[in-house]
Amino acid sequence: MDKKKEKRYWLHLSAMIFITTLTVTEPINNPKIKTFFNTSVILLLFLLLDSYKQKKEKYNEELIHKVRVELKKIRFCLVLLSDYNSNQLEFSTLYKPFKKIFKIAGKTRDEQVRRELEKKYSGKKKILADNKKKLHESEQKFFSQVEKYAIKVKVAAASEFDLINNLSPIPINELCAYLIAELRYGINEETSDENLHPSRNILKAMAYSAELAPEIKERLLEKIDIDKCDELETTIGKWHDLGLLKKWIDKKKKRREFSIKKIRKAIRKRKKEIKTLIPEIWKQ
C-alpha cells in the first residue's frame, strides 16, 4: 500500500471510530448552507463595489484580504456540497466563475504582505520603491476587472443558490469525524515543513464548519480547542510569509539589501511557536 492510500485508509478508519463516540444528530439542512453561502456572496459583492470605488479613492490594503476571505468561504461551501453530492456536482465547474478573481486577488495580496515584510527587514529605498511599483501594477489589474468579476459572481451565485435546494443535506457526524481525522493526520508533531502550509486548509475548513452551524461547533469542541486552531492557522501563515520573503530574496539575489539574520531568527521563532501550539489544539 503506497503512502497516499495508507493515509486515506487510516483517515477513514479514524473517522469511523470517531463517529461512534458522537451523539446522533440531524444533518445540516440546506437552508443553513444557503444562508452561509449567500452571506459570503453578498459580502463579496459589497467588497467588489468598494474595490471599484478605490480606483478613484485612497487605497485600502485590507480590502483585497477581505475579498479573499469571502472567496475562501464560498469555495468551502462548494467543496462541501460537491463532496456529498458527487453524482450531481463537479467542484471545478461550480468554482470556475470565482477562480480567476481568487487568483488575481491572491497574487496582489501576496505582494502586499511582502511589501510590509520588506519595510520591516530592509531600509533600502530602491527595494521599497521597486516593490511599490509592482504592487501598484497588480492592484490596478485587479481594480480594472472588478466590474467584470462582480457580474460573473452575481450570475454564478444566482444559479448555484437555487441549486442548493435540491441537494442532499450534509451529515454532521460524518463531517465532524472527517475533519477531526484530517486534522490529526494532517497537522501533528511529525508534519514536514513542505506539508505545513497546505495543512492550513484543514484549519480553515474547521473554522468555517464551526461558523456554519452551532451543532458542528459543539461536536468539534468535544475534541479540539477552536481558538488554539485559529491561533495555529495564523502562526503558520506568518511563518510561511517569512519563508516566501527569504526565497524571493535568494531568487532576486538581494541578500545584501536585507537583514537575513533577522529573517532567519523570525522564521525559527514562528516554527517554535507552531511546535508549541500543535499539541495544544487537542483537548485531553
Domains by residue range for the chain, with CATH? 1-24+171-284 (no CATH), 29-170 (1.20.120)
pLDDT of residue 280: 93
Of 70, 67, 55, 68, which is closest to residue 136 (Cα–Cα)? Answer: 55
pLDDT of residue 233: 94
**CA atoms of 173 and 21, how far apart (whole Å):** 9
Please name the amino acid found at residue 277: L
**CA atoms of 231 and 109, how far apart (whole Å):** 20
Reduced to 3 states (helix: H, G, I; strand: E, B; else coil), residue 224 is strand
Reduced to 3 states (helix: H, G, I; strand: E, B; else coil), residue 2 is coil
How many beta carbons lie within 10 A of that of residue 126, not counting itself?
A: 10
For residue 282, give the DSSP letter: B
**Could you tell me how far CA 116 lies from the centroid of its own chain?**
20
pLDDT of residue 134: 66
pLDDT of residue 67: 85
Cell numbers linked to 159 = 444559479
Strand partners, 248: none
Reduced to 3 states (helix: H, G, I; strand: E, B; else coil), residue 170 is strand
Each residue's pLDDT tens digit in the chain (284 positions)? 455 544 444 444 444 434 334 443 455 555 677 777 777 877 777 777 776 666 545 556 677 888 888 889 888 888 887 877 766 677 777 788 888 888 888 888 888 888 888 878 875 655 555 666 666 677 777 777 777 777 777 777 777 766 776 677 778 888 888 888 888 888 888 888 888 888 888 899 989 988 888 888 888 888 899 999 999 999 999 999 999 888 888 887 766 777 888 889 999 999 999 999 999 999 86
Cell numbers linked to 256 = 545584501
Q: What secondary structure does DSSP assign to 5-20, as a single string?
A: HHHHHHHHHHHHHHHT
Cβ atoms of 71 and 37 closer than 8 Å: no
